[in-house]
Structure 1
């Protein structure tokens, strides 16, 4: 039975964690850093491609690891590209900041021109968004309120 694995990583922290986790298993870890091109795609395809390339380069069995960090608010991003996101925006850049605007109203039979989304059926103070002058809608809408929060946040943090 194979008792030694070549863990392909250049990340000393990953190596330390893997070694610590497997320390009592009797499996010994050797490591080797390889600069492998990263395939784009889902985590499964990326990991399989990485393992195949590493095994060919090493000439035998390897252990590879790839991780994902997926934010539901970002529809799964950065996913397997988290390493590159952190390099580009830092840890703070991966903290989603949500700006949620709300305008209370009611759903009514459609009125006004159907130019945008659900504007004809959302009524606020007697008028649907579709019936309002665009400047009026843009001064009271949920979108305005969220963007106003964004503007204030950026003034304070950027």
Structure 2
């Protein structure tokens, strides 16, 4: 089976490839897709998948991730990429200065688009915000503590089995297996 992963983020493509190692051949297409401003991560992922399918004319998967901090009323939410590019981890930590509620979660939605349909699959992971630790990962990974380690302290092969993206990809993989290999266009 061959899956075309569309993302301009090489780290995401590596994580997807590690997750599907031995199951599927991953074709990475680096393509800028508009960052939609919908209130739900699912809506953004599905629209990005439609755009990628229209551009490539073959079945694709894309994902979108939201980062939700309880004490900040869910901010940055589905705007996680923009907020990271704008204020980064230090900006998030500054916003949380003095706050005792450090709970947060990631939500990733993987969307698959073909000529016939768009399907989406969600994965979440709960954790807390901490001072940066670790050298693995990318984005908010150094400040997100999950079960005693930040995501940046977890090696990619392990992270690829437990992360929010891994959970969404596992749901997608389950659908592929139950539905049979998606047909090419």
On whether the aligned pair clears a TM of 0.5, the verdict is: yes
Structure 1 equivalent of residue 173 of structure 2:
none
Q: Unpaired segments of 5 or more residues in structure 2?
A: 101-185
Structure 1 length-normalised TM:
0.58
Which structure's relative contact order is higher, taking Cα pairs within 8 Å and 6+ residues apart?
2
Q: 1:9 aligns with which of 4, 7, 10?
A: 7
Question: When the two structures are aligned, how many residues end up with a matched partner?
Answer: 97
For 2:64, what is the secondary structure of its paired residue?
coil
TM-score (norm 2): 0.50
User: Which 5+ residue runs of structure 1 have no aligned equivalent?
Assistant: 101-158
Partner of 2:19: 21
Over aligned residues, Cα RMSD in angstroms?
A: 1.4
Write out per-residue CA displacement over residues 75-97 of structure 1, whole angstroms, 9 at most, x where no aligned residue.
Answer: 11111211111111121112222
Q: Could you say which structure has the higher strand fraction?
A: 2
Bigger CA radius of gyration: 1
SS in 2 for 1:7: strand
Mapping of residues 52-71 of structure 1, within 5 Å: 52-71=50-69
Q: Which residue of 1 aligns with 2:130?
A: none
Greater helix share, 1 or 2?
A: 1
Distance in structure 1 (CA, Å) of the matches to 2:34 and 2:84: 18
CA contact (8 A) 2:2 2:26 kept: yes
